[in-house]
Amino acid sequence: SNVFNPLTVFSLPLIAAKCQTPVLHSQLVIALKHSCIPPLNQSIIRHAAWAFDMQTALVDGMRRQYFICEKVSGSWLFYEPETRYCSNFIFGIGGITGISQPVTADVIVPTGGTAILKCTVQEHLESSLQWSNTAQQTLYFGEKRALRDNRIQLVHSSPNELTISISNVVLSDEGEYTCSIFTMPVRTAKAVVTVLGVPQKPQVSGFESAFKENDKAKLRCTTSGSKPAANIKWYKGPEELEGAKTSVLEDGNGKTFTVKSFIEFDVTKDDDGAEITCAVGHESLHDSAKSSSHKIQVQYKPTAKIESRPSMPREGDKLRLQCDAYGNPVPDNYVWERENGEVPLLANIEGNSLVFFNLNKTDSGTYTCKASNTLGTFITHYKLDVNDPSPIPSTSSIDHAVIGGVVAVIAFLLFCLLIVLGRYLIRHKGTYLTHEAKGSDDAPDADTAIINAEGGQGGSDDKKEYFI
């Protein structure tokens, strides 16, 4: 007969009872040995998760079969829908033991990123884990793929864990995902996937033309596609600009936002070339920021000063008075004038310089440089005082001294050479014969006595001399 006989009970506390009344919504796990003749003559061991609910139904989580629970003559009996054969059994009351609740975690991922969905359970009792999406479509049942979406891949599958990944995440992937374990009742855990809209690179307007000194700069920065709405900051160099106004508009998709920021500030000539930056901050950017930078151009009137080269001019020097002017646009017109008189005829104007080739005391006076650009003219003055000629010897005097020194050195060397040659001749004194005496028999008598020769007797009448 089709009779259920208890084999093992996995529940605490264990209660042996013939007609124990189950508590409403109480749960336990029973391992049953079901002996049956039709249709197979064999024994089947299976695990069933039982829950007593309002419909008094016993659900087999493995086979999806229902076993009816009825109270007959004061006893609770369990039987299959087509069978009324039951037996007493041992059951436990006090909650499921041996099957734990699945555990998941919420996920935050930017668009284009990869979401990792992990579900774990401590005890599974041969029940499989399953992930389903926001539309309750099964993604994976154990290691088996259920939905044809190449973005969804299996990361790890085991009796205690099912982890999947969703790559190239889009905004429509956001929602509540469900991990289920098919016990009785089926236990589930939710994982909320939040998809962040990554803001686009900001676009800045207001730099179409150069500003003039003391103008008010009005700039706008716009970024779209952020979720939640991004925040915008302005910087001038490293310094943050305050006072910006921000507006947030929902995009057409109803999920992301467009953020606009407006900033105004007065510009000065010191702002010329300064870098203005619009920086977009958002949690999807991981502590970094998307930004756009532009160098601001400020036009202003020129300033100028005159430099003298050399700085202490003397009469007879070559002098250059250079007018160095700064402005935007760069000054391109220079005018030189002399107060209370005309610029000397021998002075030449070379661009921004006034050049004197042979300075004279009469060139002393106050000179004026007027530097101009399209925004205005700047006037600067320089008082020229021509000093007396320098007491330092001129270049020609220095050349003569050098030549005299060289001649003196050569004369000294010649004098030293004569002294050395004289000493050499004295040390090598000897006898010299005239041409006539060299070939005669009187050659020995043709010796020429050397004045002051050693052994000679001064004033001797026997001394002979022969001359050529």
Neighbours of 386 (CB within 10 A): 20
How far is 121 from 45, CA to CA, in rounded Å? 23
Q: Look at residue 157 and tell me whether its pLDDT is greater than 60.
A: yes
Q: How confident is the model at residue 308 (pLDDT cuts 50, 70, 90)?
A: very high
Task: Name the token pair of 347.
Answer: 């002075």
Cα–Cα distance for residue pair 62/47, rounded to 1 Å: 7
pLDDT at 429: 62
Encode pLDDT of 175-233 as tens digits: 999 999 987 778 899 999 999 999 999 999 999 899 999 999 999 999 999 999 999 99
Mean pLDDT of 377-390: 91
Highest mean pLDDT among 282-291, 369-378, 425-434: 369-378
Examine the pLDDT at 55 and tell me if it is beyond 60: no
* pLDDT digits 0-9 by tens, 328-353: 999 999 999 999 889 998 899 998 99
Our CA angle for 187, 192, 197, nearest 5°, is 165
- Of 25-34, 244-253, 361-370, give the lowest mean pLDDT range: 25-34
* Ordered domains of the chain (ranges, CATH): 3-92 (no CATH), 107-196 (2.60.40.10), 203-296 (2.60.40.10), 300-384 (2.60.40.10), 422-468 (no CATH)
Higher-pLDDT residue of 414 and 304 is: 304
Residue 33 confidence (pLDDT): 32
Give me the sign of the Cα torsion angle 423, 426, 427, 432.
positive
- pLDDT over 60 (residue 19): no
Listed residue (99, 58, 64, 55) closest to 78, CA to CA? 58
The span from the first CA to the last CA of the chain, in angstroms, equals 176
pLDDT of residue 45: 30
Give the position of tokens 């016993």.
Answer: 58
Token readout for 456 is 């000679």
User: Sorting pLDDT into bands at 50, 70 and 90, what band is 396?
Assistant: low
> Over 90: is that where the pLDDT of 156 sits?
yes
Sheet holding 161-166, edge to edge: 115-120, 161-166, 152-158
Taking all residues of the chain, what is their mean pLDDT, rounded to a whole number?
A: 76
Instruction: Return the pLDDT at 65.
Output: 41
Q: Which residue in this structure is represented by tokens 């610029």?
A: 343
Q: Where are the beta strands (DSSP E) in 310-412?
A: 319-328, 333-338, 347-350, 353-356, 365-373, 376-384
- Inform me whether the pLDDT recorded for 25 exceeds 50: no
Considering only 128-137, 248-257, 368-377, 410-419, which range has the smallest mean pLDDT?
410-419
Short-list 420, 422, 449, 423, CA closest to 434: 449
Q: What is the pLDDT of residue 66?
A: 41
| pLDDT band at residue 398 using 50, 70 and 90 as cut-offs | low
3-state class (DSSP) for residue 31: strand
Q: Which amino acid is at 161?
A: E
Beta bridge partners of 146: none
Cα(177)–Cα(135) distance, rounded to whole angstroms? 9
Residue 102 has pLDDT above 90, yes or no: yes
Judge whether 321 and 382 are in contact, CB under 8 Å.
yes
Task: Give the pLDDT score at 295.
Answer: 94
Instruction: Say what the pLDDT of residue 99 is.
Output: 54
Greater confidence, 322 or 184? 322
From CA 99, how far away is CA 92, in angstroms rounded?
Answer: 14
Q: Supply 298's token pair.
A: 């400020």
Res 71: pLDDT: 53
Q: At CB < 8 A and 24+ separation, what contacts does 44-51 make?
A: 45/7, 47/125, 47/126, 48/184, 49/96, 49/99, 49/125, 49/127, 49/183, 49/184, 49/185, 50/91, 50/184, 51/25, 51/26, 51/27, 51/184, 51/185
- Neighbouring CB atoms inside 10 A of 411's CB total 10
Name the 3-class secondary structure at 115.
strand
Taking alpha carbons only, the member of 370, 144, 358, 452 closest to residue 152 is 144
